[in-house]
Amino acid sequence: MKPSRASFWVYTFCCLATFAAFGWYGLYYSPSTAELASTAEERVIKQLQTVNKSLGAMAPTPKDDMSCSCQMGEQSNIITFEKPEDCGDDRNYLQDKFQAFKKADPKGLFTAGRDYSKTADVLPRKCVLYIMRKFWKNRALTPEEKLQADIEYNRTAPPDQQRDIKPVTEYKKDPHLFAKCDKDPNGLPERYGHKACVTEDYVNLVYNSLIDVADCLDVPAKFIAPKLSNESGLHVNAFGLVNDGGIGQFTDQALADVAQNFDNFRGRIVGSTKESCKRLKSFPGVVPASGKEILVQDANRCHAISTPPNPLRSLVYYGIFYHATKRNANGAFNKSKDDKDPNFKSIEELLKQAGIADYDREKMKEMLFVMAYNAGPGRPAIIYREWLKYRLQTIKKYPITKADFNMDYWPTRDQLKAKYGEERAKALNKKGKPLTLAEYMFAYKDSLYIAAVKAQARMLNKDLGEGTCTEPKFLQM
């Protein structure tokens, strides 16, 4: 029988539909070996799966998105990696360390590229690249270099944008906020002024480490990104002015907390079946045998900086620090009574008195938890309680609203100059209106920490898209 034109098309359509169905089946349903049966139909499915897999292997790895509303590289609106040849010798000082890392990581678990589209929901790789490039300055300048830079700038700047040329003595030298640990990997860091070249290898190492720690220890990457952007800019060798070192900017007190909690968390890493945890524990020096091996003294700060095994070790410590601080900060927030003091008022009681018992507790806790990274777990809750008591004095005239929790705040230069305390409260010039929580913390405790982290989140949202690198409504009531 000669097939008609119509039946030819019906036949073709059926074949294509069958192939499409089998293709879909192969893509979305991957049976385990135990489930594989030996029917003819299943053998065909298996063959189709093999074909699909081999096609998949030939397909190019999806590129991760590098778009940005910024100029960070040659092309506008695309962030690019720096190239070693463009950075100069003074910024390539970590290259040999990265080579050493590669040698210690022959399988490329942390140093090789991954399919970054798979972890884009956790935190896109461009967030890490952006944060690393944006942090501080590429080079710390001397007063002479600053003077020269102003002179150079004025040569091409329009008349209305000319900079004041001051005597060289009036220029301040930039602080040196990075470190080298060449002499002793567990010793005292040597301060250094220039940021390491932000190459693709460097970004991949930091990103792979961050993603694995986030997954293994259940740390929300988008929650910690603005915080780390504020602290270390995700640089392995960041070294703050109070000897806070490494990607996690650890001080001796913070490292002591990690050491104290380490043994509880070690089991969680070592006993886990997660691939991320398996990778972490496989790398030498990342998961010490016990908390006693954690070196907390300032003289040993390279322990949290030197690479390898940092940034892995420092990030594992950060994961532990995150959970320990969160537990204690929430404990301070929830403190309901003091058996020794009948006049003690809990946050809960004060919230009811203030008529805001329906406000989101988790958001309040989030703010105090962020502050706790710096101020310690107990102090932020005390300041918060004092602010609530302060607000209760004027609550009838000025009821508390969500605007009182607005952390999109930054003081003026004059307000910054005023000595903290009553003088600064006056400088805020609220004309009788009470201070918001952010203003109160700044006026009376000289603390802008939450506002500074919020500013980082705002910058990330503006340049990389709302919610791309931060959690939704981060630090926002």
322 by Cβ neighbours in 10 Å (0-12 / 13-18 / 19+) ranks as: buried
If one asks whether residue 31 binds other proteins (CB under 8 A), the answer comes out as no
Q: What is the torsional sign of CA 140, 144, 150, 152?
A: negative
C-beta closer to other proteins: residue 288 or 380: 380
If one asks whether residue 342 binds other proteins (CB under 8 A), the answer comes out as yes
If one asks whether residue 260 binds other proteins (CB under 8 A), the answer comes out as yes
Rounded CA gap, 55 and 15, in Å?
20
If one asks whether residue 338 binds other proteins (CB under 8 A), the answer comes out as yes
- The candidate with the shortest Cα–Cα distance to 167, out of 143, 141, 135, is 143
If one asks whether residue 458 binds other proteins (CB under 8 A), the answer comes out as no
Give Cα 55 distance to the centre of its chain: 36
If one asks whether residue 244 binds other proteins (CB under 8 A), the answer comes out as yes
If one asks whether residue 254 binds other proteins (CB under 8 A), the answer comes out as yes
In the list 10, 14, 242, 289, the residue contacting other proteins (rule: CB under 8 A) is 242
In the list 119, 237, 306, 374, the residue contacting other proteins (rule: CB under 8 A) is 374
Least distance between other proteins and beta carbon 342 (Å): 7
If one asks whether residue 251 binds other proteins (CB under 8 A), the answer comes out as yes
Nearest-10 crossing angle of helices 437-445, 449-464: 130
In the list 195, 303, 365, 385, the residue contacting other proteins (rule: CB under 8 A) is 385
From 48-56, 111-119, 202-210, 342-350, span contacting other proteins (CB under 8 A): 342-350
Q: Are 449 and 379 in contact (CB under 8 A)?
A: no
C-beta closer to other proteins: residue 161 or 343: 343
Q: Restricting to residues 116-175, which ones interact with other proteins according to CB under 8 A?
A: none
If one asks whether residue 444 binds other proteins (CB under 8 A), the answer comes out as yes
DSSP character for 402? G
| Phi–psi pair at 384, nearest 5 degrees | -65, -45
C-beta closer to other proteins: residue 165 or 242: 242
From 19-27, 39-47, 68-76, 378-386, span contacting other proteins (CB under 8 A): 378-386
Distances (CA, A) of 43 to 26, 38, 53: 12, 6, 15
If one asks whether residue 268 binds other proteins (CB under 8 A), the answer comes out as no
C-beta closer to other proteins: residue 207 or 440: 440
Kindly calculate the radius of gyration of the chain based on its CA atoms and give it in whole angstroms: 28
Least distance between other proteins and beta carbon 449 (Å): 9
Pull the structure tokens for residue 334: 């929830």
From 120-128, 278-286, 408-416, 417-425, span contacting other proteins (CB under 8 A): 417-425
Q: Restricting to residues 270-329, which ones interact with other proteins according to CB under 8 A?
A: 328
Distances (CA, A) of 258 to 250, 299, 333, 474, 477: 10, 17, 21, 26, 30
**Total Cβ atoms within 10 A of residue 370:** 26
If one asks whether residue 373 binds other proteins (CB under 8 A), the answer comes out as yes
| Three-class DSSP category at 340 | coil
If one asks whether residue 376 binds other proteins (CB under 8 A), the answer comes out as yes
In the list 389, 402, 417, 473, the residue contacting other proteins (rule: CB under 8 A) is 389
Rounded CA gap, 118 and 122, in Å?
9
**295's torsion region: left (phi>0), alpha (psi -120 to 50) or beta?**
beta
Rounded CA gap, 4 and 226, in Å?
67
Q: Which residues bind other proteins (CB under 8 A)?
A: 242-244, 251-254, 257, 260, 328, 331-332, 335, 338-344, 373-379, 382-383, 385-386, 389-390, 393, 421-422, 425, 440, 443-445
